[in-house]
Amino acid sequence: MSTELTPEQIQKVLQGIAIPPQPQVLVDLQMEQLKPDWSIQEIARLICQDVGLSGSILKTVNSPFYKHSNTITSIDQAVNLLGVNSVVNLVNALSIKGALSDDDIIALGRFWDTAMDIAITSSVIAKQIGVPNPEEAYTLGLFHNCGVPLLMSRFANYNQVMIAAYADAGERIVEVENRLINTNHAVVGYYVAKSWNLPDYLCEAIHEHHRIMKTFAEESASARKKTLLAVLKMAEHICGNYRILGQQNEDYEWARIQEIVWMYTGLTEYEFASLKLQIEEMGLGSLTYYD
């Protein structure tokens, strides 16, 4: 995503879309993590100041996704068990959800469940193929579609726009969105991520997650970003994102990009099928919600 846009161009892209400000708890967490002597205890204390957020985190980490043998009863336990990065990722995702009204959340149906499913699946895939920092794949999985709920709030017909975008076997999803509403969820997500001070490579990956062919053809694109995007697209396909957002039986995007994703990651079609089966046997992926 070019950083050379003028304020007028940015305003046009985001016309009528309210980008939620970065919650204070995230500002405080980022400031704490920049300190040379930061501590897990202080991270937990900062999160605990927001009672609602703390409750949501505990509910999430005690869900079947994490399969802990014992119930986690405090933020201190959550941070120690999951690690600071994973908990901060959850704070990011839950903060986006908290920025919406109840009506918006209801309208999105299983969107949030699917976002968590994709995030965890991304983390599993990253570990399986040897990505050095799988928590980065988790963050991208949680945050990559953050523009969707904001556009749902802005456009009454956005659900139909998404159906049309996923049903188009020729055009990229964001191209259909641009044609119908003059913006798209990837560019809105990029500006949310930038305003919340996510790392540049994650912001760029959010912007580019529906333009894989172009990104992979760019020599200047970093291997880190390409790997994260490859992991994300595998996770989206395995989790049936084309069904929950696009209400389609066929994943037209995956059909276009699967060969380049497999080539880049070194996976064969058989190895990918085995990985997909392994993930579904863990209770993740499309079997969780669709079959």
Question: How many whole angstroms separate alpha carbon 232 and alpha carbon 223?
Answer: 14
**12 within a domain of the structure (yes/no):** no
* Boundary of a domain, candidates 99, 116, 134: 99
Contact 120, 185 (CB under 8 A): no
Lowest mean pLDDT among 55-64, 144-153, 158-167, 260-269: 55-64
Residues 138 and 262 in one domain: yes
Residues 170 and 288 in one domain: yes
What number of other Cβ atoms are within 10 A of residue 261's Cβ?
21
Assess whether pLDDT exceeds 60 at residue 287.
no
More confident residue, 253 or 105: 253
Res 289: pLDDT: 39
At 65-101, the pLDDT tens digits run: 666 778 889 998 888 888 888 788 788 777 777 766 6
**pTM (2 d.p.):** 0.84
Residues in contact with 126: Cβ distance below 8 Å, sequence separation at least 6, in sequence order: 133, 134, 136, 137, 138, 231
At 232-246, the pLDDT tens digits run: 999 999 999 999 888
Residues 42 and 115 in one domain: no
Q: What percent of the chain has pLDDT over 90?
A: 41
Residues 196 and 242 in one domain: yes
Helices (H), the chain: 7-13, 24-34, 40-48, 51-61, 75-82, 84-98, 102-107, 111-128, 134-143, 147-154, 158-167, 173-181, 185-195, 200-208, 212-217, 223-238, 241-244, 252-265, 269-281
Q: Please give the residue range of the domain that contains residue 284.
A: 101-291
At 144-193, the pLDDT tens digits run: 999 998 898 888 899 999 999 999 999 999 999 999 998 999 999 999 88
Residues 241 and 115 in one domain: yes
* Residue whose C-alpha is closest to residue 257's, from 203, 225, 216: 216
Residues 105 and 83 in one domain: no
The count of structural domains within the chain is: 2
Question: How many whole angstroms separate alpha carbon 185 and alpha carbon 204?
Answer: 13
Query: How close are the terminal C-alpha atoms of the chain, in Å?
Result: 37
Residues 122 and 164 in one domain: yes
Question: How many whole angstroms separate alpha carbon 75 and alpha carbon 97?
Answer: 19
